[in-house]
Chains A and B, each alone.
Chain A
Amino acid sequence: MSEKFDVIVVGAGPAGSAAALVCARNGLNTLLIERGEYPGSKNVMGGVLFSKELRELVPEFWKEAPLERPVVDHRYMVLGKESAVNIGYKGMEWGEEPYNAFVVQRAKFDQWFAQKAVQAGALLINKTVVTECIVDKGKVVGVRTDRPDGDLYADVVVLADGVNSLLAQQLGFRKEHKPGDVALCVMECINLPKEKVNDRFNVKDNQGVAIEIFGEATKGNFGAGFLYTTNDGINIGVGTTVAAMVKDKLKPYDLLDELKSHPAIKPLIEGGESAEYLAHLIPEGGYRSVQKVVGNGAVVVGDAASLVNAINGEGSNMAMHSGQLAAKAIVQAKKRGDFSEAGLSSYRDALHDSFIMKDLEKYKDAPHTLESNPQYFKEYIPLVTKAVGKYFTVDGTTQRDKQKQIIKSFTEGKGTFKVLTDIYRVWKAVK
């Protein structure tokens, strides 16, 4: 099957399907290759998809896409050993069009989204691994697949092959991830009757809750847990960097079970039935780990390019947007007949002009600061839960003394200067 396409997209996740959709809509002969049995069968996400970027591609997608609940209540929860501090926002406007975010189950969602590309004219082939890019005279000219006679040719290859992106490494576009730059996340989908979900989370049908969980969830390591409501159940998971797992000899599934049995979490999932257990890596290195995204005849999108904002929990929306930007650049390149790195470089420019690289740049020091200064997760977060507990406890201590004790708990053994330095450093990393 030595066929020539305008565009070959490797990977039918949010980035790849978005790229294929936009290419096909613009009349390009587009092939979308997926290694799984179906799109989504290899993909994992805790579940929050912010709606804006998908809206640009499929207006009113909520009328047709397989979605769980729209998020109307987004919370942060900081866990102590047997305590929790909560903060959040619940807004009814999020439950109305155009919606802020939905919880999605990727196996269903990715199939739907890939079909949008197919309806626009792209050809989807599943169960096919791209083993390498075919390079001729310094330009990517196609892909080699694991099918017999499986060489396929195209003007441009879009690498949307996810966090591991072996192809970007093969091409020398990026180096292997460092263990501190990827978060290993494990999660479970738990079935629970709709009424129980509604009661426990104080919502109605078609209203969802997203909770990001810090502190004890990761045993004081850089990372987070999460709990999201699906239509008839809960997705719960936790992740921390591979570096932290290695250093503290953590078993990820043990972290998950400890989170599930935490006294602030257990009552929320009690009586539920585990339906699936999933593991995946998230590229959380941020701005500094985004490497070469454009080369001769190739572009890199989504997780493959490390386009994840770990601070705000954005990834799938960035993946879709990067796919769209890459496709637009390819359409322009086609008009000029120039598929060189220079001919495709408008993708890199558009990416840097978009919220994606602007947000990643804003937080460029955050992953490193938090990973290499364990005191934030190991010491300050537990102190915050204790301080809030003390603040709300009435035990005869005067309020003035309570305040003194709280401040002392932070500065003890460190000194005020060290604490102020630490506060300044983290503020600088996220400001």
Chain B
Amino acid sequence: MSVTTLEEKQYLLRFKCDKKSHLTILNHDVCATQCPDKLCTLFCPGEVYKWEGNRMQVGYEGCHECGSCRIGCPTENIKWEYPKGGHGIIFRLA
């Protein structure tokens, strides 16, 4: 079947998760006070970021490692690294 929801799309992928996040919110207060739209929660293609009312939850396990959040964050509040070698997303096709 052709998938429609993002959850279904993410379910098609293989990840080898590290125990430690490769994405770090530098300051949760900045998200709370300086970013009314919480933009990363919208444009991130893996919906890695979820606003939990007072802090940004980072579901790094579903990250495509594309880099959009680092570049698109209007307050440059995301520290972005690569997951440890061999970890993270493992594309099998395209």
Residues of A within 8 A of B (CB): 35-37, 40-47, 105-108, 126-129, 145-147, 163-164, 166, 176-179, 182, 184, 186-190, 235, 242-243, 245-246, 249-253, 257, 260, 269-281
Contacts and interface: CB of A to CB of B under 8 A. Distances in A.
Contacts of B82: 35, 129, 166
B43 A41 contact: no
Interface string B6-37: 10111011001000000000000000000001
A187 B65 contact: no
A127 B9 contact: no
A201 B41 CA distance: 37
Interface string B73-94: 0100000111111101111111
Contacts of A41: 89-92
What are the 4 A-B residue pairs with the smallest beta carbon separation, nearest first?
A127-B86, A279-B45, A277-B9, A245-B43
A253 B37 contact: no
Interface residues of B, number: 40
Nearest to A277: B9
B91 A274 contact: no
Contacts of B86: 35-37, 126-128
B59 interface: no
Main secondary structure of the interface of B (DSSP, over half): loop
Contact of A105 (B66, B70, B88, B94): B94
Given A46-B94, A189-B93, A249 B37 contact: yes
A88 B52 CA distance: 48
Contacts, number: 144
A279 B66 contact: yes
A1 B78 CA distance: 33
A146 B22 CA distance: 13
- Residue of B39, B70, B81, B92 with most partner-chain A CB within 10 A: B92
A242 B64 CA distance: 15
Interface of B: 1-4, 6, 8-10, 12-13, 16, 37, 39, 42-43, 45-46, 64-68, 70-72, 74, 80-86, 88-94
A35 B4 contact: no
A242 B12 contact: no
A124 to B, nearest CB: 13
B2 A274 contact: yes
Given A178-B71, A249-B43, A251-B42, 17 more contacts: A36-B86, A36-B90, A41-B90, A42-B88, A105-B93, A106-B94, A129-B82, A182-B68, A182-B71, A184-B45, A188-B3, A245-B42, A246-B43, A253-B9, A275-B93, A276-B92, A277-B3
A164 B67 contact: yes
A249 B39 contact: yes
Contacts of B85: 35, 126-129, 145-147
Contacts of A146: 84-85
A252 B4 contact: no
A12 to B, nearest CB: 12
A190 B93 CA distance: 10
B94 A45 contact: yes
B40 to A, nearest CB: 9
Contacts of A249: 37, 39, 42-43
A273 B83 CA distance: 30
Contacts of B45: 184, 186, 252-253, 279
26 contacts: A36-B86, A40-B91, A41-B91, A43-B91, A47-B94, A127-B85, A128-B85, A129-B83, A147-B85, A166-B82, A176-B71, A184-B66, A186-B45, A190-B2, A243-B72, A246-B74, A250-B42, A253-B45, A270-B2, A272-B2, A273-B1, A274-B1, A276-B94, A278-B93, A279-B64, A280-B64
